[in-house]
Amino acid sequence: MHANTFAPAFSFFSAFSRMSPTQPLRTLIRTTGYKLRPPRPLLFTPGVHRAQQVVLASGRAGPHQGAEILHEVRSGLTPTIVLGGFVPDATEQVFLMRGFLLKHGSVFYFNYPRLGFSMELVFAQLDDLVAELTEKHGKPPVIFAVSFGAGLVLEWLKRARRAGRRVDVGGLVLISPVACVEDLLTNGEAKPSTLLGRAVKPYVEHEARIQPGHIEKSRAIFTKMFEAGAQNKESLRALMTRGELRQLRDSVIGTIQAIDANGACERMTALRQMEAPCSYFSQVLLPLCTAPVLILYAEKESAVLTETSPTRFAMTSAHQAYFPQSQCKTIVNRRGSPVQHASLIFHCFNFLPPISAFYKRLKSKKVQRAA
């Protein structure tokens, strides 16, 4: 891909990186910028809360089961809503991409609750925020969703279609989607083949009698997955400062430890309730969305996704049936360790070129419509 397909600053760095490593220069520029304008996600108070009120009034969910929405305000035309995976929180999920996203507009972070989880309430929050940005501000957002968060978005879109509603978004970025239990566990498999499958299996087998030991095992596995990515100290020093790495680690481990039994079980309940995309491959429901969509998988998904992952099969073989304006790509790292599942922190600069090109295409379309 030609360098001129990226934003100007990124084009320069991308071209320069063919001759010498630029990550330390990027780190210097980012941290200098943070000194001038430090990251300060603030609690967002919605101006539209129609859908949330319906769910809460029905008694089907309590306020503790909804996401905490944080935001950073910018004047750009393309706001982004970030939904993370099981962990870390959305604010840490895009730790190194924050500056890029803010260049395009405000960023809203959906941090899932620690002590519970209601998929219906989270979807209502998403409905209300999209409506507020689109109707009140005239800025349809991009939804940037990762792993379990991408599965939530697929389920949200499917339910909206099934209810006869049209979701008005500016675009979707789906990173390593996990949209059903079968993405993590193979039916009939005695021992899960994936690391995350080992964390999930007790919740599927012992839904009503999860023991404290299961919770601790899940925490240990998620911690191990994060620590495995943080092993390459030399690469990490090129990506972020020692202080940033300490802050990131404290935040991620803090989140893992703070999710209690209810929070863990209710997130797993949500995953069990999601339908595999191939189960609704029908002209009645498809396409799910006509906005531009970018779907990205890592070259090495094997620690998380099964070989027979239904969602990966559907997205790689038939993504344009679900999203007519979609691209599906595999992210590879030709200079070092293979790109792992949803590795937006440790392989940020491998993911950034196609994401940057996607946002640039969105901006071009907006300019054309304005003209």
Say whether pLDDT at 17 is over 80.
no
Alpha-carbon gap, residue 79 to 98, rounded angstroms: 12
Alpha-carbon gap, residue 153 to 148, rounded angstroms: 9
- pLDDT, tens digit (0-9, with 9 covering 90-100), for 304-337: 999 999 999 999 999 999 999 999 999 999 988 8
Whether the model clears a pTM of 0.85, i.e. scores above it, the answer is yes
Percent of the chain with pLDDT over 70: 84
pLDDT at 97: 93
pLDDT at 174: 98
The helix or strand, by DSSP H or E, that contains position 326, with its residue range, turns out to be strand 326-331
According to DSSP, residue 297 is labeled E
- Domains in the chain: boundaries: 39-370
pLDDT bracket for residue 257 (50, 70, 90):
very high
What is the chain's length? 371
- pLDDT, tens digit (0-9, with 9 covering 90-100), for 66-101: 999 999 999 999 999 999 999 999 999 999 899 999
Helices and strands (H, E) in the chain, number of each type: 14, 8
Determine the 3-state secondary structure of 333 from DSSP: coil
pLDDT bracket for residue 31 (50, 70, 90):
low
CATH number of 39-370: 3.40.50.1820
